[in-house]
Amino acid sequence: MIATGTVPIRPPVLGIDSEGVFGASSLDDGSRLAQAIDRGGIEKAVVVGGGYIGVEMAEALVRRGLKVSMVDMLPQVMATLDPDMAALVVDALKRAGVELYLEEKLEGFEEAKGRLAAVKTDKRLLAADLAVLGLGVRPNTSLAEEAGIALGISKAIEVDDHQKTCEEGVWAAGDCAQSFHLVSKKPTWVALGSVANKHGRVAGINIGGGDAVFPGVVGTAVTRFMDTEIARTGLQECEAEKLGVDCVSRTITDHILAGYYPDPGKITIKLLAEKATGRLLGSQIVGTRGSARRIDIVATALHAGLSVEDMINLDLGYAPPFSSTWDPIHIAARQTLKLI
C-alpha cells in the first residue's frame, strides 16, 4: 500500500534555502514560521503563489500584523476559479492590504547582512523580511516509479476504482494517487485530505478482503480569506473548453439571507452547464460568511448528474435566518436555465 503523499514544489532559484524562506507543507514549517514572527523584527512578508495555500498564508500573516505582498506568475490568483470569480478574491486581498504582483515570475531571494532582504521577480525586487512558498505540490511517487508502478495524470499513481495499482497486490491511496472525475469522466489528480481519506477507506476495505468502490470526485474545494469564503466544484470554463463541451454560465450576486434580515450577507454564485443538455457542470462561489457551504449542494448534484432545471426545484431548507424563499443557488439556476 503506497500512501506517500506529495512533495512541495521548490523551484531551484537562487537563495531558496535562505533562512527567511519558509515552506507551508508540514507542521514543522508552521512552527518555524510562527517562531520567526514571534522573535520580532519581521515587518514585510512576501507570499509566493496565489493558490489555496498562498491565500491562507496571506490571511495568517495579515492577522499577525505584517505587510503582505503576493506574487504569482499567472494573471490571476486561485487558478481553480474562472478569472471573473478570481477577481473577487483579488478584491478581498486588496481590501485586507495585500499587494498583488501577478504575471510575475519568481527569480530568486536576495540576502543582506546574512538574512533575507528581498524577493526577486522578473519585474522587480520586493523588500521582504520573510517569504512563504505556496507553489503547490506534486505526487511523491519515487518509490512507485522505482517499483515500476504505472503513473497516470499529473504523474500521480494510476489506480482503478478499488485503489488498485497496475501491480497485483499493490494499492495506492491519498495525495500520491489519481482519482476519477465524475463530471469530465476522465482521470484527475486532487491532493486534498478529504479525498485522501476516502481513498484510504476504500483501499483498506479492499485490502482487508472486502469490496468497496471509490466512484470519484467532482473537484470540490473551499477556503477562506479573512471574511471572504471561496468555493468551487465541477469543471471551470477552461476545463469544459478543453473537453470540447459547449458550456454556458451565469453569475448572480444576492443576499445570503432574506433581504430584510439584519446583516443579510452577500454571495456571488457562478453556475456552469452544458448548453445542449442542461447538465450541470460546475459552480464557483465567493461571498461573506455562510457562502461557501452552498457548494455542497452543487457537489451533491454533480454526483447525481442533475440538470440546471433539477436545481431550480431542489427542496432546500428555507427560513429567514438561513436563506430567502428562493435560495441564491435557485436564483443562479433560474438565470442559467435562460441560456439553455
Give the footprint of a second copy on this chain (CB under 8 A).
Answer: 52, 182, 192-198, 201, 214-224, 231, 233, 290, 292-297, 299-306, 310, 312-319, 321-322, 325-327
d(CA 280, CA 283): 9
- Report in angstroms how near the CB of residue 111 gets to a second copy at its nearest: 34
Cβ proximity to a second copy, 46 vs 298, nearer residue: 298
Q: Within 13 A of 104's CA, how many CA atoms are on the CB side? A: 23
* Cβ 139 vs Cβ 175: under 8 Å: yes
Cβ proximity to a second copy, 40 vs 321, nearer residue: 321
- Report in angstroms how near the CB of residue 230 gets to a second copy at its nearest: 9
* Cβ 215 vs Cβ 161: under 8 Å: yes
Cβ proximity to a second copy, 169 vs 317, nearer residue: 317
- Residue owning grid cell 424563499: 325
- Report in angstroms how near the CB of residue 77 gets to a second copy at its nearest: 16
- Maximum separation of any 2 CA atoms in the chain, in Å: 65
* Cβ 265 vs Cβ 205: under 8 Å: no
- Residue owning grid cell 523588500: 127
- Report in angstroms how near the CB of residue 124 gets to a second copy at its nearest: 32
Cβ proximity to a second copy, 116 vs 156, nearer residue: 156
- Residue owning grid cell 476516502: 198
- Pure H helices in the chain: 27-38, 52-63, 83-95, 142-146, 193-207, 237-243, 295-304, 308-312, 328-337
- Report in angstroms how near the CB of residue 337 gets to a second copy at its nearest: 10
Cβ proximity to a second copy, 119 vs 132, nearer residue: 132
Nearest to 228 by CA among 70, 62, 30: 62
Q: Cell numbers of 110, please?
A: 536576495
- Report in angstroms how near the CB of residue 293 gets to a second copy at its nearest: 5
Q: How many Å from the N-terminal Cα to the C-terminal Cα in the chain? A: 46
Q: Positive or negative CA dihedral for 85, 248, 186, 193?
A: positive
Cβ proximity to a second copy, 73 vs 226, nearer residue: 226
- Report in angstroms how near the CB of residue 340 gets to a second copy at its nearest: 14
Cβ proximity to a second copy, 247 vs 333, nearer residue: 333
Phi first, then psi: give them for residue 109, nearest 5 degrees.
Answer: -125, 135
